[in-house]
Structure 1
Amino acid sequence: MKVLQVAHYYGSPGGIERVVSQFCACLKQEYEVEVLVANEGAKTEETIEDGVRVTRVGRVAHINRMSICPTFPSWLKKKNPDLVHLHLINPLAELSYLVSNLRCKAIATYHMDITRQLWMKPIHQPMLDRVLNKLDRITVSSQRFAENSPVLSRYMDKIHILPFGISEERFKATPFNRSLTEEFKKQYAGKLVLFVGRLTHYKGLSVLVEAMKKVDATCVIIGTGYLRETIKEQIKEEGLEDRVHLIGHASDEELVAYYDRADVFVLPSINRTESFGITQLEAMSRGTPVVCTEVGTGTTTINRHEETGLVVPPQDPEMLSQAINRILSDEALAHKLSKGAVERYKTYYSEAVMWQNLRSLYSELLA
């Protein structure tokens, strides 16, 4: 049987893209798996990547982060899958699905609500509702996210909880990253606060930089994004250039070393665009205590207050600094949270657990 994953992009470093790759790695063991995404250029290209056929449809324009690919609907219909799996929000995929009028099982993973570009909601929402009404199942990363979503609350009868997971193999300790950890201990003296993620509006990095004024520690910010220069300027204005460092991209082995070196990992997100927070899991898999914010999504399903880390209100640098300082100053608490983080990751959020859940869902729909 053929199953088709439809997403924005494939093989790039974003969180959704990594989830799609994980789904493909799992499903190709039992099904013929294909991927349909937008290309960054005007030419349509087909490749085989790790046993998966990937079709990148030519893009003629890119407007407000939306790819314009006129032939996307015809490519979707041409694939003729037994099951199509959409990754939303994705106006291109949604419109193409409706236009193609596929006669097959259909599910979607609903990754996030729209919290910006609200001007497009009156145009987009009717189309999204038509798609959601046609689907057999809607998977979400947490019950909390579904219940608090202004969109999904109307489709609770279709909801299937499918928490994302990360590979233990990907973040295992090696002699190389152990040596890197030792280097980082020399490079960053004292306590270390860590952030990993895209440098974008909803991550709340301006709040983290503000909070660091009251934290006696070094802060390392790993990631790339359009807010890099803005954050860099804020760091300079606050006089924190000697303690807050923008690192840019880091490899998986470097990430393991940073997680192992860090005393606390911080995810200071400010709104529901942060639907899950996969980097929390990465930190937890290495036993790093977490501080995250309560934004009504899966962030606090992953990170349990006083069990794996601490939870604070969003956009509150004072509360954020207090939580960070509490973990940095209380060795017994840090040890308890570290142990709890590893246990929770292994029990609920390993890649193996995610794969088992995904296979069960597909088996049910394709029986």
Structure 2
Amino acid sequence: MNDLVIVLTYYSPYVSGLTNVARDVAEGLAARGWRVCVVASKHEPSLPTNEVINGVRVVRAPVLAKVGKGTVGVNLTRMAIREMRRSRVANLHLPLIEASLLTRLAPIPVVSTYHCDVSLPPGMVNVAQREAVDRSSRGGLKRSTATVVTSEDYARESRLWPEIAPHMVAIPPPCIPVEPAEPVYRRGDGFHVGFLGRIVEEKGVEHLVDAFLALGDPDARLLIGGDHSRIAGGSVVDRVRAHIGHDPRVELLGFIPDERLGEFYASIDAFALPSVNAFEAFGIVQVVGMLAGVPAVVSDLPGVRLPVERTGFGRIVPPSDVPALTGALAELRDDPPDATRGRAAATEAFSVESVLDAYEAVFTKAAG
């Protein structure tokens, strides 16, 4: 018997903001004594079908094919319904192509966590996929007991706002602080800027590269961490490399595992999240940086701007505006904000325990 079953497409060891939220909520509630099961796709054939990770039972459904950022397979729905029959409440993490069918068949109350609208490159197949996912999400949200969003700021700009609004609960994602560590990625005493995330279209990493190079600071360094080899929907790392050219001040670090994140944040003086469209809904990585005492430069996008607005620990710039991004980096280099005050503000606004309390309350109410 489960207290909670969580359903999503990609689960750990896959890394994305959506996956990390589901993982941290699952493991956080399991640590509080909840019996939690996760049903996800077996996105890598080598992954086990059944295992227990940090107190969470994980069940993976075989994949027939991958289309864009999603997977195709009939087993996810069947396995999710089977686990729902053994559970008190279900939590679907959307976008999820199976959302409409799952909420129609669910024998228990469903809480949906809506992360962001689907973003895909132009093309007939991608347009059809986006419309199919949106249609499924709309059906799933209409039949959900509650819809959790990371912020009302983002939700109001979503294509699915009419379906989100009636049962919306705003809960920021859990942002787990890193342990203090040595600055092993640091390259000298100059100003160090960091980025961490998937190297994909919506992150705008090439704009960050251009903005950094425009600083004209020979001692500065740009450290870009993030996976670009196993990304659903494909990576734009070649584009980023073209913007870097042969400049040795910019370093592509590749994927940085959780156990080394403290070293990454300890190595930088400012964190940049130069997202270019509203399909980036929050940006957990910027808050983790704030909790480590690192200010952030972020794009003026719904949800993404919220942590800097709430804490005052950083700068907000228009998306894709390279000169503004350069200016914000220069301001943080020449007049850095108080790290102790910024860390305290981030801790007060985004503590993990308050997030888990809020999720626990939503699930408990939904389960009756």
TM-score (structure 1 length as normaliser): 0.89
Q: Structure 2: how far apart are the matches of 1:242 and 1:44?
A: 41
Match of 1:318 in 2: 323
Match of 2:354 in 1: 353
Query: What SS does structure 1 have at the residue aligned with 2:118?
Result: coil
**Contact kept in structure 1, 2:17 and 2:284, CA below 8 Å:** yes
Query: What SS does structure 1 have at the residue aligned with 2:263?
Result: helix
Letter in 2 for 1:283: G
**Contact kept in structure 2, 1:42 and 1:59, CA below 8 Å:** no
Letter in 1 for 2:224: I
**Contact kept in structure 2, 1:305 and 1:311, CA below 8 Å:** no
How much does 1:10 deviate? 1.9
2:70 counterpart of 1:66: yes
CA 1:140/1:306 → structure 2, altered by over 3 Å: closer, same or farther?
closer
Unaligned stretches of 5+ residues in structure 1: none
Aligned identity (percent) is 22
Match of 2:25 in 1: 23
Query: What SS does structure 1 have at the residue aligned with 2:79?
Result: helix
**Counterpart pick for 1:224 among 223, 227, 232:** 227
CA 1:45/1:254 → structure 2, altered by over 3 Å: closer, same or farther?
closer
Unaligned stretches of 5+ residues in structure 2: 121-125, 229-234
Give runs of aligned pairs for residues 83-98 of structure 1, distance below 5 A: 83-91=89-97, 93-98=98-103
**Contact kept in structure 2, 1:197 and 1:222, CA below 8 Å:** yes
Query: What SS does structure 2 have at the residue aligned with 1:220?
Result: strand
Match of 1:250 in 2: 256
Give runs of aligned pairs for residues 93-112 of structure 1, distance below 5 A: 93-98=98-103, 101-112=105-116
Q: Structure 2: how far apart are the matches of 1:212 and 1:305?
A: 26
CA 1:244/1:77 → structure 2, altered by over 3 Å: closer, same or farther?
same
TM-score (structure 2 length as normaliser): 0.88
Letter in 1 for 2:317: V
Match of 1:33 in 2: 36
**Contact kept in structure 2, 1:267 and 1:280, CA below 8 Å:** yes
Q: Structure 1: how far apart are the matches of 2:313 and 2:6?
A: 33
- Identify, as 1 or 2, the structure richer in helix: 1
How much does 1:344 deviate? 2.3
Letter in 2 for 1:32: R
Q: Structure 2: how far apart are the matches of 1:10 and 1:71?
A: 16
Give runs of aligned pairs for residues 136-285 of structure 1, distance below 5 A: 136-168=145-177, 171-173=178-180, 177-178=181-182, 181=183, 183-185=184-186, 187-215=187-215, 216=217, 217-225=220-228, 226-236=235-245, 241-285=247-291
**Contact kept in structure 1, 2:311 and 2:342, CA below 8 Å:** no
CA 1:364/1:90 → structure 2, altered by over 3 Å: closer, same or farther?
same
Query: What SS does structure 2 have at the residue aligned with 1:4?
Result: strand
How much does 1:110 deviate? 0.5
Letter in 2 for 1:314: P
TM-align CA RMSD: 2.1
How much does 1:305 deviate? 8.0
CA 1:274/1:126 → structure 2, altered by over 3 Å: closer, same or farther?
closer
Q: Structure 2: how far apart are the matches of 1:254 and 1:75?
A: 35
Summarize deviations over 1:194-240 as a string: whole Å, max 9, x none: 1111100000011111112221221111112222232112211xx5x
Query: What SS does structure 2 have at the residue aligned with 1:344?
Result: helix
2:317 counterpart of 1:308: no
2:132 counterpart of 1:120: no
How much does 1:42 deviate? 9.8
